[in-house]
Structure 1
Amino acid sequence: MISALIHVAKPGDPAAVDALADTLATLVAGVAAGVVGDAVIVAPAQSTALDTVAEATGAKFVIHGRGATAWAAAAREARRDWVLCLEAGDILAEGWIRVLDRFIGTARPEVVLGRLRRPHAGLPSRIAARGETVIGTRSPRVGDLVRRERLLAGPVFTPRLRPRLVPARIDRA
């Protein structure tokens, strides 16, 4: 099972709350299939709207900035062995449940980082992601599926971790 970590960049923006709701809605099928066990919402500031959404969905709400340390703070609240890093507004494309279930079920102990495709990312991000498959990455990013224990060991991966590409796609709402 996995825990979904969802970052909300602008917690006071009503559009961000709607985007979060879209992301949580796509995870419902994963909960029903037994792949998603819990969700953690992470934002840089307190928000009553996010508190309400977290309480209504059974998610935990963590206040922390952005980047690798935010993922690590959210991972401390996660309850599953694998965490999926998402951004509010991310929509997992059809077939994601089967793909992620197979990935976590067949991953050897040395595999600690999987990366989902994000076709809406800009060209520089896509080039950087392709390079990271060769030289590795220093920190998790949106679209990464990471072993929780590795993320808790430190938000910076030393040595660099080479992500294993996961054949699932993340779209935007």
Structure 2
Amino acid sequence: MITVLVRVTHGPEALAATLSALVPAVAAGLIGDAVILSDRQDEILAQVADAAGATLVVAQGDSWTEGAKVARRDWLLCLDDGDIPQEGWIRVLDRFVALSKPERGLARMRRQRAGVVNAFLNLFARSSIRGGDLVHRRVLMNEVRAHMPVRLSATIERDPVFG
């Protein structure tokens, strides 16, 4: 099982879109819990988190690390609100988590972006954690150094409403 960390920047509607896309993975037994990360206290986000059975964390700065501190599982799927995993992602992540050692540390889902933007991000952001990454807690807590990310055959897209 994994914990999902969802970083909120677009508001409760984008958060709801992402959380609803995760329901099949909860039913399949892949996702065990969720942590919602916000840079400010927000009553509506608190209500959405409560309704989803998620934990809301208000974090300034490196919100992924703050989320890792309260996560219940060792493998963490980092998402931005508005991210929607595409067909087949549950099987791919389940297999990776089952077969990978913590030292492997970091896997990256493919994003459907313009070619130049994707190439730029892959070149200059290899070791930084971003939405769509599956990362071991020890990597986020700086207990082990992440190797080059494993490229997963799963795809993640942005809900077009939230860019």
Give the TM-score of the pair, scaled to structure 1: 0.84
Kindly state the Cα deviation for residue 97 of structure 1 after the two structures are TM-superposed: 0.7
Identical columns (%)? 45
Question: C-alpha displacement at 1:106, in angstroms?
Answer: 1.2
- Following TM superposition, by how much is the alpha carbon of 1:118 offset from its aligned partner in structure 2, in angstroms? 1.2
Which runs of at least 4 in structure 1 moved beyond 2 Å after TM superposition? Answer: 120-124, 128-133
Distance 1:121 1:74 in 2: 30
- What runs of 5+ residues in structure 2 fail to find an aligned partner? none
2:43 to 28, 44, 48: 48
RMSD: 2.0
The DSSP-based 3-state class of the residue aligned with 1:168 is strand
Q: Give unpaired runs (5+ residues) of structure 1.
A: 11-15
Q: In the aligned structure 1, how far is the partner of 2:102 from the partner of 2:7? A: 27
Matches of 1:110 and 1:19 in 2, distance apart?
33
**Distance between the aligned counterparts of 1:5 and 1:100, measured in 2?**
15
Give the whole-Å Cα distance in 1 for the aligned partners of 2:112 and 2:135.
20
1:30 to 25, 29, 46: 25
Which amino acid is the alignment partner of residue 70 of structure 2? E
State the match for 1:102 in structure 2: 95
2: distance between equivalents of 1:145 and 1:85? Answer: 6
Which amino acid in 1 is paired with 2:83? D
Alignment of 1:71-150 (within 5 A): 71-120=64-113, 123-124=116-117, 126-131=118-123, 136-137=126-127, 139-150=128-139
Counterpart in the other structure of 2:4: 4
User: Aligned residues, how many?
Assistant: 159
Task: Supply the distance in 1 between the matched residues of 2:31 and 2:15 (Cα, whole angstroms).
Answer: 16
Q: Which amino acid counterpart does residue 86 of structure 1 have in structure 2?
A: L
CA distance in structure 2 between the partners assigned to 1:24 and 1:93 by the alignment? 13
State the Cα distance separating 1:128 from its structure 2 match. Answer: 3.1
Which amino acid is the alignment partner of residue 146 of structure 1?
A: V
For the 8 Å contact 2:102–2:136, the answer to whether it is kept is no
TM-score by length of 2: 0.89
Q: Any conservation in 2 of the 1:120–1:172 contact (CA below 8 Å)?
A: no
